[in-house]
């Protein structure tokens, strides 16, 4: 990237850049977040690859890789500009590989192994998870900045990808910290499935905490969220966790308690004399009740 912020470059320019590199344009779409996908971007079966194996119920929620031919750039741009910033439903890739080959490559990285060998699905079609995994230095909305993957893991995962663009939580268009003008001549030495170490697992777990806390409040105490505008809730929770850590408060359960106090008494409650007494209700007994709720 030049010094200009990547969000200043629109979708049309991303498509043009891919063409200039001799690459195809793809959208990795998540129907779970927009039920009109993949059909809204393509009705041609030979232009769409389902990323998860299974029946109709699995395919209905599976991410899909969609080829966007140059003749459809304008219609795709219009749809993406309307829907991309509103929900984590789509990311944009540029790759010289044809659809089937790129889909096969990406599918091979869907499952990773935990330190004990247990396989899990890595939901990199979610923009926040993607950016945390591979890094996006300009994205200030990330709770865990990343990259979580090692350099060797990133090389293996991103080898056929020249550009990968996503919308952050505020709707700004971002480029992950990965740019190459051509695929490497030799294949990556690291083969899937990727094996995560405990530090990587911990980082991905921590990255999910703000969303987990918001889900908890939405399900169990929605009245506490009433005074926080929906678009500001994620940032609000992240700020409260940062403030809690300044007091030595750690763990999702204790952070949940701290967020609840901030929702009831205001973000700056800990700067007032009465706030000290409120903090004492957390500090000695803070337990990780969140995971048990």
* Residue with the two structure tokens 């300044």: 246
Task: State the pLDDT confidence band at 4, using cuts at 50, 70 and 90.
Answer: very low
Q: What is residue 37's predicted lDDT score, i.e. its pLDDT? A: 97
Lowest mean pLDDT among 70-79, 103-112, 270-279: 270-279
Neighbours of 78 (CB within 10 A): 11
Q: What is residue 188's predicted lDDT score, i.e. its pLDDT? A: 80
Give percent of the chain above pLDDT 70.
94
Task: Convert the pLDDT of each residue in 13-67 to its tens digit.
Answer: 999 999 999 999 999 999 999 999 999 999 999 999 999 998 989 988 999 999 9
Q: What is residue 6's predicted lDDT score, i.e. its pLDDT? A: 46
Selection from 170, 191, 210, 239 nearest residue 7 by Cα: 170
Pure H helices in 53-150: 56-61, 73-83, 99-107, 127-134
Flag whether pLDDT at 169 surpasses 60.
yes
CB 270 within 8 A of CB 279: yes
Q: Would you give the end-to-end CA distance of the chain in angstroms?
A: 44
Who has greater pLDDT, 8 or 249? 249
pTM, two decimals, is 0.90
Phi, psi of 232 (to 5 degrees): -100, -5
* Residue with the two structure tokens 């004492």: 280
Structure tokens given for 144: 């865990």
Task: State the pLDDT confidence band at 278, using cuts at 50, 70 and 90.
Answer: confident
- Average pLDDT score, the chain: 92
Q: What is residue 2's predicted lDDT score, i.e. its pLDDT? A: 39
User: In what helix (H) or strand (E) does residue 243 lie, and over which residues does it extend?
Assistant: helix 233-246
CB 2 within 8 A of CB 42: no
Task: Convert the pLDDT of each residue in 201-238 to its tens digit.
Answer: 999 999 999 999 999 999 999 999 999 999 999 999 99
3-state secondary structure of 175: strand
Q: What is residue 284's predicted lDDT score, i.e. its pLDDT? A: 52
Structure tokens given for 37: 């996908």
User: In what helix (H) or strand (E) does residue 19 lie, and over which residues does it extend?
Assistant: helix 11-20
Annotated domain spans of the chain? 6-109+122-181, 208-292
CB 210 within 8 A of CB 143: yes
Give percent of the chain above pLDDT 90.
83
Q: What is residue 29's predicted lDDT score, i.e. its pLDDT? A: 98
């Amino acid at each position: 990237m030049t010094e200009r912020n990547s969000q200043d470059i629109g979708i049309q320019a991303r498509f043009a850049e891919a063409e200039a590199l001799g690459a195809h344009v793809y959208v990795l779409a998540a129907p779970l977040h927009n039920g009109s996908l993949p059909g809204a971007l393509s009705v041609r079966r030979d232009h769409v690859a389902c990323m998860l194996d299974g029946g109709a119920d699995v395919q209905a929620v599976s991410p899909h890789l969609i080829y966007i031919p140059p003749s459809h750039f304008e219609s795709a741009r219009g749809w993406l500009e309307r829907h991309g910033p509103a929900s984590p439903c789509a990311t944009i890739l540029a790759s010289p590989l044809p659809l089937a080959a790129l889909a096969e490559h990406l599918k091979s990285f869907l499952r990773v192994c935990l330190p004990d060998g247990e396989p899990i699905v890595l939901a990199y079609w979610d923009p926040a998870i993607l950016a945390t995994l591979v890094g996006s230095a300009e994205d200030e909305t990330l709770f865990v900045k990343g990259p979580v993957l090692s350099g060797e893991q990133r090389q293996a995962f991103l080898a056929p990808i020249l550009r990968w663009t996503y919308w952050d939580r505020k709707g700004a268009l971002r480029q992950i910290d990965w740019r190459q003008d051509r695929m490497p001549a030799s294949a990556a030495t690291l083969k899937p499935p990727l094996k995560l170490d405990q530090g990587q697992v911990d980082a991905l777990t921590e990255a999910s905490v703000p969303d987990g806390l918001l889900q908890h409040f939405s399900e169990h105490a929605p009245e506490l969220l009433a005074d926080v505008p929906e678009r500001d809730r994620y940032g609000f929770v992240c700020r409260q966790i940062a403030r809690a850590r300044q007091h030595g408060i750690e763990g999702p359960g204790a952070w949940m308690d701290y967020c609840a106090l901030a929702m009831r008494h205001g973000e700056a409650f800990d700067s007032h004399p009465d706030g000290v007494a409120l903090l004492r209700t957390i500090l000695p007994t803070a337990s990780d009740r969140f995971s048990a709720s």
